Amino acid sequence: MTWRNPVTEGLRQSQPGLFTRLRAWFSHHLQSLVFSLGKIYRSPLPTIMTVAVIAITLTLPAGFYLFLKNLERVSGDFRSSTQISLYLKLDTSDNDARALEISLKELVDIADTSFISREQALNEFKQNSGFGESIEQLDNNPLPHTIVVQPVHEIDPLRIKTLVSQLQADPRVDIAKLDTEWLERLYTIVDMARRSVIIISLLFSFAVLLTIGNTIRLDIQNRYQEIIVTKLIGATDAFIRRPFLYGGVWYGLLGGLLAWLLVEFSALMLSGPVARLNQLYRANFELVTFNFTDFMILLAASTLLGLAGSWLAVARHLNDIEPK
């Protein structure tokens, strides 16, 4: 018969089970979540000021991101509209020109081609140039056959240059023309804008951390005596820390929601001028706003910033409060 220590058995039996401990842990997290929200609700003016500062801080990088999104869309439209004009030699017959067009459609980097005959080009020039009477006095048609080549959408600038050189090497082609300098400048601007958005986002994320951290620090100082009493009755640092962490989460979440509303309102204000611009230039550009994925990323980032800012403040100041 095995002898058992009654004191040890009593202590073992008095310890709560795993399920009980987990239920208590989740219960306290839920209480901290509700308590921190109630505390924010009971202080409307400081809450509104803090959330507004966070939202304005987040609106700037979010707005720059939205601007970059629209700029990349415009650059993509320009890339898809990039064309190569092949001006054939004057002695190229109509059959040879059309045969060249058919062979070009078989190339991998070419999405489509369009053939413009010498007669069609001359007629269009007469109608659009205003020199119709002068052109009719010419003995011969000075315009060559032209093939307009549309590269595939995903082709990069280097492959476009290689394609131009390949087309220029054909003996029937006199001039292969493509103005890519403006396109390369546009891609450079887009790359600069993308890096600027990253830098701005990092700087303003640090500003959000400081804002939430300072707010939580003031909250800790205001509850100085309450924290001391709580420690005296045996509360752990984790127990005391949770309401402050959830407070930072609420600040970040509300700030992200308000930042999203500000960005959407700004896009709505710009929709009118964009529509008038489309009418003036006969374009069909539509302003891109946040989709569901962008919205969730913004909320997740603002919430994590709130959690990180509150954690830094609590880790810095809570350890300095000890009962004497």
| Beta-bridge partner residues of 173 | 88
Using CA atoms, how far apart are residues 102 and 114, in angstroms rounded to an integer? 10
Q: Tokens representing 56? A: 């304005």
| Average pLDDT estimate for 21-30 | 72
172: CB partners within 8 A, 6+ apart = 88, 89, 92, 96, 97, 100
Q: Tokens representing 157? A: 């600038």
**Closest Cα partner for 260 from 293, 215, 212?**
293
Are 287 and 70 in contact, with CB atoms under 8 Å apart?
yes
Q: Give the confidence band of 58 by pLDDT, cuts at 50, 70, 90.
A: very high
Higher local confidence (pLDDT), 14 or 173: 173
How many CA within 13 A on the CB side of residue 173?
20
Q: What is the pLDDT of residue 1?
A: 44
* Helix or strand run (H / E) with residue 279: helix 237-281
Q: What is the pLDDT of residue 183?
A: 67
Are 34 and 237 in contact, with CB atoms under 8 Å apart?
no
DSSP for residue 144: P
Cα dihedral 191, 280, 267, 58 sign? positive
Q: What is the pLDDT of residue 16?
A: 59
Average pLDDT, the chain: 80
Q: Residue 94 pLDDT more than 90?
A: no
Domain 83-179 has CATH 3.30.70.3040: yes
| Average pLDDT estimate for 206-215 | 90
Q: What angle do CA 298, 63, 76 make, to 5 degrees?
A: 100
Using CA atoms, how far apart are residues 286 and 73, in angstroms rounded to an integer? 10
| Average pLDDT estimate for 94-123 | 85
- What are the φ and ψ backbone dihedral angles of 18, each rounded to 5 degrees? -65, -45
Q: What is the pLDDT of residue 176?
A: 85
Q: Give the confidence band of 288 by pLDDT, cuts at 50, 70, 90.
A: confident
Q: Give the confidence band of 8 by pLDDT, cuts at 50, 70, 90.
A: very low
Q: Residue 30 pLDDT more than 50?
A: yes
Q: What is the pLDDT of residue 208?
A: 92
Q: What are the sequence ranges of the domains in the chain?
A: 26-77+185-320, 83-179
Higher local confidence (pLDDT), 170 or 16: 170
Q: Residue 215 pLDDT more than 80?
A: yes
Tell me the percentage of the chain whose pLDDT exceeds 70: 81
- Per DSSP, the three-state class of 234 is coil
Using CA atoms, how far apart are residues 189 and 306, in angstroms rounded to an integer? 33
Higher local confidence (pLDDT), 217 or 12: 217
| Average pLDDT estimate for 137-152 | 80
In this predicted structure, which of 44-53, 55-64, 76-85 has the lowest mean pLDDT? 76-85
Q: Tokens representing 71? A: 């700029």
Q: What is the pLDDT of residue 283?
A: 61
Q: What is the pLDDT of residue 10?
A: 47
What is the CB neighbour count within 10 angstroms for residue 167?
19
Q: Give the confidence band of 2 by pLDDT, cuts at 50, 70, 90.
A: very low
Percent helix, strand, coil in the chain, to 5, is 75, 5, 20
| Average pLDDT estimate for 103-132 | 79
Using CA atoms, how far apart are residues 307 and 247, in angstroms rounded to an integer? 8
Using CA atoms, how far apart are residues 78 and 62, in angstroms rounded to an integer? 24
Is this prediction's pTM over 0.85? Answer: no
- Per DSSP, the three-state class of 172 is coil
Q: Residue 110 pLDDT more than 80?
A: yes
Q: Residue 13 pLDDT more than 70?
A: no
Q: Give the confidence band of 192 by pLDDT, cuts at 50, 70, 90.
A: confident
Q: Tokens representing 296? A: 């969730």
Q: What is the pLDDT of residue 9?
A: 46
Q: What is the pLDDT of residue 6?
A: 47
Higher local confidence (pLDDT), 272 or 300: 300
Q: Give the confidence band of 54 by pLDDT, cuts at 50, 70, 90.
A: very high
Q: Tokens representing 145? A: 């056959």
